[in-house]
Amino acid sequence: MLDGNRQRHVRRSACRWCRNDDPCADAAGDSSVRPDEIDVVELHDCFSIAEIIDSEDLGIVPRGMGAVWAADGRTSVGGDVAINPSGGSLAKGHPVGATGLGQVYEIVQQLRGQHPNQVSNARIGMTHNLGGTGVACTVSILRRCD
């Protein structure tokens, strides 16, 4: 079930793509889901640093802690929140336009409990898809139907 979905042109700085009034917060507002309730995320890691920035922008990792959480395994399967258990965009060869729908495919598999790198009892998932130099961004929150 699609629980929240927003698209926005986003503003940028060197350390973040978005501000607090960003599509991530909007999508969460649509769905009344708090970031700490999200079990699994497929986010736009077109480059390694992008995963760190995205995880902080989305509010699922505290600001400034993206790299620390990743290094400590807190964003691995079995950690606080699973980020890109599919391997992410870099593992898929950065498939540009196919990225966003590929993320939906991965999250639906997770919510069905059918993913090869399954997050235990995943109930709420998020996709985050950036375009260009951050000129477009879509965020969707998906919830298991049961």
Question: Is 75 among the residues that bind other proteins (CB under 8 A)?
Answer: no
CB of 30 within 8 A of CB of 39? no
Q: Which of 104, 117, 118, 123 binds other proteins (CB under 8 A)?
A: 104
Q: Please, where are the H alpha helices in 61-98?
A: 66-71, 88-91
Q: What's the closest the beta carbon of residue 65 comes to other proteins, in angstroms?
A: 25
116 counts as binding other proteins under rule CB under 8 A: no
- 1 forms part of the interface with other proteins (CB under 8 A): yes
Q: Say how many C-beta atoms besides its own lie within 10 A of residue 138's C-beta.
A: 18
**Beta carbon nearer to other proteins, 69 or 85:** 85
Partners of 83 in the β-ladder: 41
Of the candidates 101, 23, 8, 108, the one whose C-alpha atom is nearest the C-alpha of residue 58 is: 23
Residue type, 123: R
Q: Which stretch binds other proteins (CB under 8 A): 13-21, 51-59, 75-83, 138-146?
A: 138-146
Distance CA 49, CA 58 (A): 14
State the DSSP H helix or E strand holding residue 111, giving kind and residue range, or none if neither.
helix 99-112
Asked if 90 is part of the footprint of other proteins (rule: CB under 8 A), the reply reads no
In the list 33, 46, 67, 77, the residue contacting other proteins (rule: CB under 8 A) is 46
Q: Which residues bind other proteins (CB under 8 A)?
A: 1-2, 4-5, 7, 30-31, 44, 46, 89, 92-105, 108-109, 127, 129-132, 135-138, 140, 142, 145
